[in-house]
Structure 1
Amino acid sequence: MRYKNSNIRKCLNTKTIAQCAAFFLYCLLPLKGFCQTGESTVNTLVEMGFENVGWTEDGNERVYVLQNSAYRLQGVGISKAVDVIQKMGLPEKKSCRIIVLNNNVPQISLYYHPLKGDSVLQAERNDWNVSYELGDAWKEARKIKLKNSSLFKVDVLVYPQLAFKNLIITQIYQVLFDLSPAIEVSFWKGMKVTAQLKVPVYNDGYGKYEGKVHPGNLTISQRLRLPYNIFGKVTAGYFNADQYGFDAEFFRPFNDERFSLLARIGYTGTGYWDGFKLHYDPSTWVVTWSLGGSFYWPQFNTQFTLKAEQYLMEEKGVRFEMIRHFRYCSIGFYAMKAENAKSNGGFRFQVALPPYKYKRKGYIPRVNTSANMGIVYNAGNERLYYKQYKAEASDNIMEQNSFNPYFIKSELLNF
């Protein structure tokens, strides 16, 4: 009988220990968000395809650094990253910041500060403040070693390019359609090389030179973030519109980030391709410039821009634009008036091209369509004045707005 009671006591002790262990584990379940480290969050983001990912923290704030290379649309990619960090990467009882890079250059930050009594499980997308400000933590975050570097990784992007004109009474439109693949790669922070080839698919009325395979944009650019939140890009090489030379553009938001200053200056000559032979005149160099301001209306994601400009014919003028930005497209209109030229205007739009999610496999070149495709319609049919160029193949109105804090905030709330 004594032996039987001893076995019963052993069973009861074992059962009690098991119950205590189960209760302890059950109590830890709500703290899952706290127990996860920043390292596991970084690894998850890397597995999703994000590049230049890292983290650091001090006694006041945890900081994540990342570059969206997994989704074609920045708003979508950043929203996905926020979801992951909210689920498994928020620190306990301290603030959290996400610094978003573009080509290794910081663009914006998303900042979350829990209120007293908040827990990790209460964090939602609308709790994040989006701004061009990076905070003091960037001084330390810039020193950390980032995982899944974007450097030396090649993108082969095929740019569909459509042009049409209505100059002949007996013909509705003359059309030019090109498929223009471009190799894009970065060798150091902020730098990008673009080498594009224009392959005509259909040419009706655009001349024999456009009917031949020939180079497109051949450029090297350097993106900068200067003190006082000044963003810049300097580009050299062969541009579109038969121009080659140098171009520099700068953007500076005010403290009220709805308002910003815009400036650009270019020094270019004229040259055209006959197949792979470049014809140019070294005496045709000209200075073009643009200076103005912009206002962003967050309620409707609409941007108003007014600029004074000098064009390729050296005529000076004024340009007004109103562009509304949606997730998958941007559309608006413009109006211009220059000296010795009649008023002109029209509309423009840019449409995002699928697929909207793409992922690299190591350093294997990634082949895809360009991020988007657009058209500028010249309603006044002006062919001599108001001529401009694009320095990079990827320059467009959607790209220029992709890191706008108000646009990113609207994507967080509406995704």
Structure 2
Amino acid sequence: MSKYLIAILLSAWSISLRAQVAEKLQQLGMENIQTVTEVNGNTTIAFEDNVYRGTYRGIGKAIKAAMEGMYGGNLQMVVLEHSIPQLCITLSDKVITEYKEKQITIGEVYRQMGISYDTDEAMEVLKKTHRTLNSSAGKVDIVVYPEVKLENSSFDRLYTYYVNLAPAVEMALWKGAELTAQVVFPVATNLKGQYKKIRPGVIALSQEFCFGKGFLGRVTAGNFTNNRMGAQAEMKYRTANGRLELGAMAGATVQSVLTDDEGWYISRKLRMNAALKASVYEPRFNLQFDLQAARYLYGDYGVRGDCTRHFGEYAIGVYGMYTDGEINGGFHFAIPLPGKKWSRNRGVRVRQADYFAMEYSMESWGRYADEKMGETYRTRPDENRSNRFFQPEYIRYFLIKEANK
């Protein structure tokens, strides 16, 4: 009888502990929360941050909240995006106890925690739970994206430009799936044709996959930027520490453009593009080096190299490329827009984009422009080098920096 009583008490204690940690994260607004507390008191929890701008800010808030809900045992946290595991953070019972007793600061917690892309073991533990708290499925964001382009590609004017506002409806569907529907409203431009018209932006359905052992995949179909419509598949491999990433991409698209004569015109000519990619992260100076060899939209083959410096949520970089005998280069940046936190208490939330991103190309005339060299497209409106950046050493570095302010 005593054995059964002990088992019941342990089970009740486990449920109570699990509920406390999950409740702390739910109070922050975290979504897709899953928790397992084992008999030895160790707790594994998964969560998704759709509240705080960037990656490290919400993770820091979640770490502090989860430790407050712990009463013994080690803590293992999986950071999700669209319910797909991105990071695993581990904290020992000793570190948690010392922090709660104010023997160490939160900065020391960040220094001593484990953080990596290796989520396989933690996700195996989380298979024991079938309950998800505060699911993101079906919740809608209306996100207003600013679009600016500046190009010196003609002799009759110094620059061609456009400024647009491009609101997008974004909705999580099931695990790894997202629906995006965007409309572009022109604000100012000295271009003609579709640039003066209200037109479709990114209208796409994407599905992400986690294959384990560092492999992730993504398939997207729909209407993309740069007047392209079709499908694209991506695959990447990341080492546990995130210092090396290898990837490949292939796409098949047709032209999709708004015309005066035919309205929304979709061509029949299929164009193929593909790329092999490699990325190296240097943590001392927070430098990201990207190299790709690609077949671009209009049949030219080339290589491109990027060097990006991360200053917290700011990312500033330069690039150079060589394609079919032509050389080009330029710079790009992503800067955070006002609004560090966007609570989502109801089914629909309206907010502005987290970042403004732009790329400037030095070569935009002559053969390079006439033959449309180096042309590509984006499959989602928020692609930049700050958004969705889960690099482990980057997150640790800037969490510590924030704690020391």
Moved more, 272-281 or 185-194: 272-281
Q: Does 1:62 pair with 2:46? A: no
Cα separation, partners in 2 of 1:91 and 1:265, compared to 1, 3 Å: farther
Q: Does 1:411 pair with 2:369? A: no
- Equivalent of 1:214 in 192, 196, 199: 199
Structure-1-length-normalised TM-score: 0.85
- Equivalent of 2:384 in 396, 402, 405: 396
Cα separation, partners in 2 of 1:43 and 1:336, compared to 1, 3 Å: same
Letter in 2 for 1:373: F
**Are the counterparts in 1 of residues 258 and 265 from structure 2 also a CA contact under 8 Å?**
yes
Q: 3-state SS of the aligned residue for 1:137?
A: helix
Give, in angstroms, the shift of residue 36 of structure 1: 8.1
Hey, what does 1:368 align to over in structure 2?
351
The one-character-per-residue Cα deviations of 1:42-77 (angstroms, maximum 9, x if unpaired) are 222212211112321214531121111120121101
Structure-2-length-normalised TM-score: 0.87
Give, in angstroms, the shift of residue 294 of structure 1: 1.3
- The alignment's C-alpha RMSD in Å is 2.2
Name structure 2 gaps, 5 residues minimum.
1-13
Q: 3-state SS of the aligned residue for 2:124?
A: helix
Q: Does 1:138 pair with 2:144? A: no
Hey, what does 2:9 align to over in structure 1?
none
Q: 3-state SS of the aligned residue for 1:107?
A: strand
Q: 3-state SS of the aligned residue for 2:25?
A: helix
**Are the counterparts in 2 of residues 212 and 274 from structure 1 also a CA contact under 8 Å?**
no
Give, in angstroms, the shift of residue 167 of structure 1: 3.5
Bigger Rg over Cα: 1
Q: Does 1:230 pair with 2:218? A: no
- Equivalent of 2:343 in 353, 359, 373: 359
The one-character-per-residue Cα deviations of 1:179-221 (angstroms, maximum 9, x if unpaired) are 00000001211100100000001111x2121101011111000
**Are the counterparts in 2 of residues 79 and 411 from structure 1 also a CA contact under 8 Å?**
no
Letter in 1 for 2:294: E
Letter in 2 for 1:159: Y
Hey, what does 1:10 align to over in structure 2?
none
Hey, what does 2:146 align to over in structure 1?
160
**Are the counterparts in 2 of residues 126 and 412 from structure 1 also a CA contact under 8 Å?**
no
**Are the counterparts in 1 of residues 231 and 253 from structure 2 also a CA contact under 8 Å?**
yes
Hey, what does 2:7 align to over in structure 1?
none
Cα separation, partners in 2 of 1:235 and 1:169, compared to 1, 3 Å: same
Letter in 2 for 1:191: A
**Are the counterparts in 2 of residues 321 and 334 from structure 1 also a CA contact under 8 Å?**
yes
**Are the counterparts in 2 of residues 192 and 222 from structure 1 also a CA contact under 8 Å?**
yes
- CA–CA separation in structure 1 for the residues paired with 2:122 and 2:130: 11
Letter in 2 for 1:174: T
- CA–CA separation in structure 2 for the residues paired with 1:294 and 1:197: 32
- Equivalent of 2:250 in 259, 265, 270: 265
The one-character-per-residue Cα deviations of 1:288-309 (angstroms, maximum 9, x if unpaired) are 1111311100112111111111
Cα separation, partners in 2 of 1:158 and 1:118, compared to 1, 3 Å: closer
1:316-395 matched pairs, under 5 angstroms: 316-339=301-324, 341-363=325-347, 365-381=348-364, 382-383=368-369, 384-395=372-383
Cα separation, partners in 2 of 1:403 and 1:116, compared to 1, 3 Å: closer
Q: 3-state SS of the aligned residue for 1:40?
A: helix
Hey, what does 1:82 align to over in structure 2?
63
- CA–CA separation in structure 1 for the residues paired with 2:304 and 2:216: 22
Name structure 1 gaps, 5 residues minimum.
1-33
